[in-house]
């Protein structure tokens, strides 16, 4: 069973994903980074994806499906942590067709707290991994890259991204519940360690201890 991390920007998905990887040795699929990686691998669709990213256009569902299938076919196996996919009902249908076995961890955070957190976060420009506002230091401990602030992490852009989440992604929680899929709600306003302790409880039910 793979793990789907779902939550608005600022809910700590990237931070918790890193802790899961470090603790359990899972693989990590973050859609934004996989899109960037896909442009460099020489696939017949790589140039098309690069054009979409360079021009700021949405990547078509067809290309999203291509990237998911390519990752499945080249992945060596084992549990995968997914972040940033699916974000809509159309993407959910694609995702289900490629990775049908998964459960969902919803990191629930209020809009106001998300905006506050994102105002101070920084990212690794190489991997796209985010670091919270209270992270000490100016360099990623994993890559050594100097951390930078995203250009679109200002309140107006953040609010727009959150609105899109509420409109397109939040309804998926009800869809998953109606399907009988396991959806675990975790209060993401707690400390990083408190949130992770709840995630560990969830994972223990799936043979991860």
Q: Tell me whether residue 70 is exposed, middle or buried, using C-beta atoms within 10 angstroms of its C-beta: 0 to 12, 13 to 18, 19 or more.
A: middle
Residue 139 inside a domain? The answer is no
Q: Containing domain of residue 12, as a range? A: 2-110+168-204
Token pair in block for residue 56: 């700021």
Residue 78 inside a domain? The answer is yes
**Whole-angstrom distance, CA of residue 191 vs CA of residue 62:** 38
Residue 11 inside a domain? The answer is yes
DSSP string, 20-83: HHHHH--EEEEHHHHHHHHTTS--TTHHHHHHHHHTTPPPPHHHHHHHHHHHHHH---S-EEEE
Token pair in block for residue 127: 């991997």
The segments of the chain whose pLDDT lies below 50 read none
6: Cβ–Cβ under 8 A, 6 or more apart, which residues?
13, 104, 105, 106, 107, 169, 172, 173
Q: What CATH number is attached to the domain comprising 105? A: 3.40.50.300
Asked whether the whole model's pTM tops 0.85, one would answer no
194: three-class secondary structure by DSSP: helix
**Predicted pLDDT of residue 153:** 66
Residue 197 inside a domain? The answer is yes
**Predicted pLDDT of residue 131:** 82
- Number of domains comprising the chain: 1
**Whole-angstrom distance, CA of residue 83 vs CA of residue 51:** 23
- The length of the chain in residues reads 209
Residue 61 inside a domain? The answer is yes
> Residue 5 in contact with residue 11, Cβ under 8 Å?
no
Angle at 127 between CA 138 and CA 5, to 5 degrees: 105
Residue 65 inside a domain? The answer is yes
pLDDT tens, residue by residue, 116-129: 887 777 888 877 77
Q: Tell me whether residue 125 is exposed, middle or buried, using C-beta atoms within 10 angstroms of its C-beta: 0 to 12, 13 to 18, 19 or more.
A: middle
Q: Which helix (H) or strand (E) holds 113?
A: helix 111-120
> Residue 92 in contact with residue 86, Cβ under 8 Å?
yes
27: Cβ–Cβ under 8 A, 6 or more apart, which residues?
21, 75, 78, 79, 80, 81
Residue 148 inside a domain? The answer is no
**Whole-angstrom distance, CA of residue 104 vs CA of residue 78:** 17
Residue 75 inside a domain? The answer is yes
């Amino acid at each position: 069973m793979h793990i789907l991390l779902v939550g608005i920007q600022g809910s700590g998905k990237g931070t918790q994903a890193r802790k899961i990887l470090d603790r359990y040795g899972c693989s990590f699929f973050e859609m934004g980074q996989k899109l960037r990686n896909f442009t460099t691998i020489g696939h017949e669709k790589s140039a098309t994806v690069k054009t979409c990213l360079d021009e700021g256009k949405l990547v078509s569902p067809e290309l999203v499906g291509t990237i998911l299938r390519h990752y499945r076919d080249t992945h060596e196996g084992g549990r995968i942590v997914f972040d940033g996919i699916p974000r809509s009902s159309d993407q959910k249908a694609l995702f289900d067709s490629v990775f049908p076995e998964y459960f969902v961890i919803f990191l629930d955070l209020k809009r106001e707290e998300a905006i506050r957190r994102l105002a101070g976060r920084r990212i690794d420009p190489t991997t796209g991994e985010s670091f919270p506002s209270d992270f000490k230091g100016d360099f990623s401990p994993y890559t050594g890259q100097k951390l930078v602030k995203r250009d679109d992490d200002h309140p107006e852009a953040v609010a727009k991204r959150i609105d899109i989440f509420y409109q397109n992604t939040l309804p998926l929680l009800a869809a998953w519940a109606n399907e009988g899929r396991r959806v675990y709600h975790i209060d993401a306003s707690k400390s990083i360690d408190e949130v992770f302790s709840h995630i560990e409880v969830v994972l223990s039910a799936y043979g991860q201890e």
